[in-house]
Chains A and B, each alone.
Chain A
């Protein structure tokens, strides 16, 4: 387990900033101005996976041998061998509160999405205005429960003219992966 290097940090923020707006700074800011320095959140790299956790917990984890340490904090995703960063569904809880563009899907569209399907226009309840094409979005159910990540297939203006079966959002990750990828999600 170690801290991230400058280039790794930039790659990570590059990916996360696709989904979030300026409020991403809240992720690394201390919880309150008068809080202890160990209370702030940090990123740690362990076996190519990036974890988001409190500094106090990271300091405790130092005492665990590398081969004995399985996981710590919340896993955001992992670095591929080519140096790119792949976001995991486990990062949804951290990213969802800071999402910039959102898509809400109707109850009849929840199951198709959670089984790994793309979102068709007929299943969309509402969406953020002025969303460009190929923009990363966070997908919510109509009762504001975050369901996953996606990428818009068309801009909002274009998708208005689309027929009901046309794909408006490509799936990137969904919470159905907790079951579908159960065997591989937490293993290295």
Chain B
């Protein structure tokens, strides 16, 4: 701005009374006004006129030494406040996302329950097999004990018979021995 003012002042201040005569001459038709070639000859002056001065707001430069809370800073070109969903496409997309999520959850639940069921069945079978094994072992021992018992009984019976005979004999002999003093 400073050089512009000085250039304007120059013709008015420096030339004095002769300047008024010059102006009169320039108004005459057919003669080119002297100011126009002067402005064209100064290229720096034209450039400065064309240059646009941007404000800080237009440039979007953040202000120095200021802190903006997170919620307060609103991004440019975005809708303020809540974003509503009322169109069918929007609802459908949300629904399809939710549906896919739920399908996956149910599928994984089913897989897990099936796996658990298999494990449970295997455990049950194992327990049953163990129980049967125990039972058969018990039966075996019972049988063996029964066999042993029978043999002993037979032996005992024989022994008892023998003993009875002995007792009879003894009793008979004892009777003979009885004597009165």
Q: Are B86 and A42 in contact (CB under 8 A)?
A: yes
Is A10 within 8 A of B98, CB to CB? yes
13 residue pairs from A and B, CB less than 8 Å apart? A6-B94, A9-B91, A10-B97, A13-B94, A17-B95, A22-B99, A28-B91, A28-B95, A130-B110, A132-B109, A132-B113, A134-B109, A157-B113
Q: CB-CB < 8 A to B117: which residues of A?
A: 155, 157-158
CA distance A10 to B112 in the complex (A): 26
Determine how close the nearest CB of chain B comes to the CB of A55; give it in whole angstroms: 9
A1-58 at interface with B (beta carbon < 8 Å): 2-6, 9-10, 13-14, 17-18, 22, 24-25, 28-30, 40, 42
CB of B6 within 8 Å of the partner chain = no
Given contacts A5-B84, A9-B90, A132-B112, 17 further A-B contacts (CB under 8 A): A4-B86, A5-B82, A5-B83, A5-B85, A6-B83, A6-B90, A6-B94, A9-B85, A13-B98, A17-B95, A17-B102, A24-B95, A25-B95, A30-B88, A133-B109, A155-B117, A157-B113
* Residues of chain A whose beta carbon lies under 8 Å from any beta carbon of chain B: 2-6, 9-10, 13-14, 17-18, 22, 24-25, 28-30, 40, 42, 130, 132-135, 155, 157-158
Say yes or no: A10 contacts B94, CB within 8 Å. yes
**When the two chains form their complex, are residues A9 and B94 in contact, meaning their CB atoms are under 8 A apart?**
yes
| Chain B nearest Cβ from A60, distance in angstroms | 16
B109 to A, closest residue via Cβ: A132
Interface size class of B (residues with CB under 8 A): 20 to 34
Q: How far does the alpha carbon of A28 sit from the alpha carbon of B82 in the complex, in Å?
A: 21
B94 touches A3 (CB 8 A): no
Residues of A with C-beta under 8 A to B110:
130, 132
- Give the complex CA separation of A28 and B113 in angstroms: 33
Residue B61 CB within 8 A of the other chain: no
B25 to chain A, nearest CB (A): 76
Q: Taking the complex as formed, is B92 at the interface, i.e. its CB lies under 8 A from any CB of chain A?
A: yes
User: A9-B91, A10-B94 are known contacts. Are A2 and B84 too (CB-CB below 8 A)?
Assistant: yes
Chain B residue with the shortest CB-CB distance to A4: B85
A22 to B100, CA, bound (A): 9
Interface residues in B102-161 by Cβ distance below 8 A to A read 102, 106, 109-110, 112-113, 117
**B84→A24 contact, CB < 8 A:** no
- Known contacts: A17-B102, A132-B106, A132-B113. The answer to whether A3 contacts B95 by CB under 8 A is no
> Smallest CB–CB gap between B35 and chain A, Å?
65
Asked if residues A17 and B84 are in contact (CB atoms below 8 Å), the reply is no
Contact B113 A133 (CB under 8 A): yes
Q: Is the CB of B106 within 8 A of A135?
A: yes
Contact A155 B113 (CB under 8 A): yes
B179 to chain A: closest CB distance in Å?
A: 83
CB distance B109 to A135 under 8 Å? yes
Tell which of B82, B90, B97 has the most Cβ of chain A within 10 Å.
B82
Tell me the complex Cα distance, A61–B141, Å.
87
**Residue among B84, B96, B117 with max Cβ neighbours from chain A (10 Å):** B84
Q: How far is the CA of A25 from the CA of B97 in the complex (A)?
A: 12
Question: Do residues B86 and A3 form an inter-chain contact, with CB atoms below 8 A?
Answer: yes
Find out whether the CB atom of B82 lies under 8 angstroms from the CB atom of A17: no
* Most central of A29, A134, A155 by chain B CB within 10 Å: A155
For the complex, give the distance between the alpha carbons of A132 and B111 in Å.
9
